[in-house]
């Protein structure tokens, strides 16, 4: 997809972070943008930020407040977009996401349902609700569309690297990567494609996601406290700026890239994929060989990016901050060093 002017975008999670950056950048490129988010206040602020950044009209930004895991509400929102903007999106960007850190053996049904619900089910909902509408409205034959259209999901490097403290999240992200590869191939005859964006760290508000976790999914096995949230905020403050991230995504869509690893130096992305694939190869080795390889890798200072679960610099934590990725103190079946002491 190369021409965005006058076209329609539907961006999930548009109230904050990466999705808000995407809404700004694609509105500036001349698109009318629908932004979907569960937080009404965030949506309200997002509309004025988008209008200011893009210099567009308020009427070109359509805020839709609903829970993206609610299929009925999502279908109603899709109908609203068609009614207000005159058609389904040309560009569907599925970016909403949440995370909760804790040893995977401590994760509860609520942890799985919340994290996989937002990170995987919402993506499935968007694909099932929108893709048929997009094909009917804009799909062509023999690889030439009537009008250009494209599907994007914001995944994570977590899709490719193992996540002992992000099990549900990494599983959901690995699933969406694979799904997007399927859609990229399947949409070819209609003249469209798909892109999956895998950032490593974004300067966003995802560290606060536990605060608005739905009431009915709050039975977590993970240790969550003000101190944990402070650590996460500090961690994400070092991430890529959402506007820069959205510009990299835009270039990826224009160039028809199916997988976008948003590093300024593409070699960093290539190295990370290579390292992740190597680790999968080690899983085929004997336990002893595999352990040796993993230890060598951990000690290897030439690794490009430290893993989240390494907690590389505990001394850099802000005051009052606690380590993240621990289980609740009372889960006494979890190994003591993986449990919170507080
Ligand atoms: P963010 O927290 O700033 O924005 C996420 C938005 O999604 C929020 O406005 C939130 O209200 C919304 N949301 C959450 N659950 C929802 C639901 N059920 N229905 C409707 N809206 C919902 O987070 P961020 O970092 O911008 O996250 C965007 C995407 O980037 C996510 O998919 C995340 O997994 C991914 N990502 C984030 C990284 C990071 O370092 N922050 C790294 C790699 C990927």
Query: CB of 180 closer than 6 A to ligand 1?
Result: no
d(CA 138, CA 125): 20
| Ligand 1 mutation pick, 96, 113, 159, 262, max ligand atoms within 8 A of CB | 96
The C-alpha angle with vertex 45 and arms to 44 and 50, in degrees rounded to 5, equals 105
Question: How many DSSP H helices and E strands does the chain contain?
Answer: 10, 7
CB neighbour list of residue 79: distance below 8 Å, 6 or more residues apart:
none
Mutate to test the pocket of ligand 1, among 10, 12, 13 (most ligand atoms within 8 A of CB): 13
Give the distance (Å) from ligand 1 centre to CA of residue 207. 9
Token pair 């869509």 is found at 253
Q: How high is the pLDDT of residue 265?
A: 79
CA of 81 to the centre of ligand 1 (A): 21
Mean pLDDT by 10 residues, the chain (342 residues): 98 98 98 98 98 98 98 98 98 98 98 98 98 98 96 95 91 98 98 96 96 98 96 90 97 96 84 89 97 89 59 64 94 97 89
What does the pLDDT read at residue 297? 86
Give the active site residue among 169, 183, 190, 200: 169
Residue 257 is predicted with a pLDDT of: 96
Please say if 169 is a catalytic residue: yes
Ligand 1 geometric centre to CA of 115 (Å): 11
Which domains are assigned to the chain?
8-264 (3.40.50.720)
**With a 6 A CB cut-off, is 96 part of the ligand 1 pocket?**
yes
| pLDDT, position 320 | 84
For CA atoms 68, 70, 74, 77, give the dihedral sign: negative
Q: How many CB atoms lie within 10 A of CB 330?
A: 10
- pLDDT in the model for residue 161: 85
Task: Strand 193-197: give its sheet, edge to edge.
Answer: 61-65, 32-37, 8-12, 91-94, 150-154, 193-197, 259-260
Q: Are 86 and 58 in contact (CB under 8 A)?
A: no
Q: Residue 342: what pLDDT?
A: 86
How many beta carbons lie within 10 A of that of residue 58, not counting itself? 10
Its pTM stands at: 0.96
Ligand 1 mutation target, pool 72, 97, 217, most atoms within 8 A of CB: 97
Q: Does the beta carbon of 239 lie inside 6 Å of ligand 1?
A: yes
166 in contact with ligand 1, CB cutoff 6 A: no
At 255, list the tokens.
């160039």
pLDDT of residue 270: 86
Of all protein residues, the one whose alpha carbon is nearest to atom 40 of ligand 1 is 201
Residues 6+ positions from 96 with CB-CB distance below 8 Å: 12, 13, 19, 36, 37, 38, 68, 118, 122
CA separation for the pair 231, 125 (Å, rounded): 32
User: Is-contact 16 45, C-beta < 8 A?
Assistant: no
């Amino acid at each position: 997809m190369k021409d965005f002017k006058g076209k329609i975008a539907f961006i999930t999670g548009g109230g904050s972070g990466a999705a808000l950056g995407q809404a700004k950048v694609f509105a500036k490129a001349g698109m009318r943008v629908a932004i979907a988010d569960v937080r009404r206040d965030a949506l309200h602020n997002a509309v004025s930020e988008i209008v200011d950044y893009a210099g567009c009209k308020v009427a070109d930004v359509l805020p839709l407040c609903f829970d993206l895991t609610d299929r009925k509400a999502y279908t109603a929102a899709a109908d609203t977009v068609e009614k207000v903007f005159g058609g389904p999106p040309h560009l569907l960007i599925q970016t909403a996401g949440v995370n909760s850190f804790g040893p995977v053996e401590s994760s509860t049904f609520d942890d799985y349902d919340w994290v996989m619900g937002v990170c995987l089910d919402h993506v499935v909902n968007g694909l099932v609700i929108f893709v048929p509408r997009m094909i009917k409205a804009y799909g062509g034959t023999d690889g030439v569309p009537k009008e250009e259209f494209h599907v994007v999901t914001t995944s994570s490097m977590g899709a490719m690297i193992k996540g002992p403290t992000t099990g549900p999240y990494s599983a959901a992200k690995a699933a969406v990567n694979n799904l997007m590869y399927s859609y990229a191939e399947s949409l070819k005859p209609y003249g469209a494609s798909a892109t999956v964006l895998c950032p490593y760290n974004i300067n966003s508000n995802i560290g606060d996601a536990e605060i608005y976790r739905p009431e009915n999914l709050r039975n977590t096995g993970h240790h969550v406290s003000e101190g944990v949230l402070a650590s996460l905020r500090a961690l994400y403050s070092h991430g890529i700026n959402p506007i820069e991230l959205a510009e990299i995504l835009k270039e990826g869509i224009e160039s028809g890239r199916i997988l976008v690893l948003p590093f300024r130096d593409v070699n960093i992305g290539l190295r990370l994929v290579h390292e992740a694939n190597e680790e999968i190869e080690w899983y085929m080795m004997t336990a002893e060989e595999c352990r040796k390889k993993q230890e060598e890798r951990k000690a290897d200072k030439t690794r490009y990016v430290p893993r989240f679960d390494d907690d590389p610099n505990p001394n850099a934590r802000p005051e009052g901050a606690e380590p993240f990725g621990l289980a609740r103190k009372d889960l006494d079946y979890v190994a003591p060093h993986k449990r919170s002491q507080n």
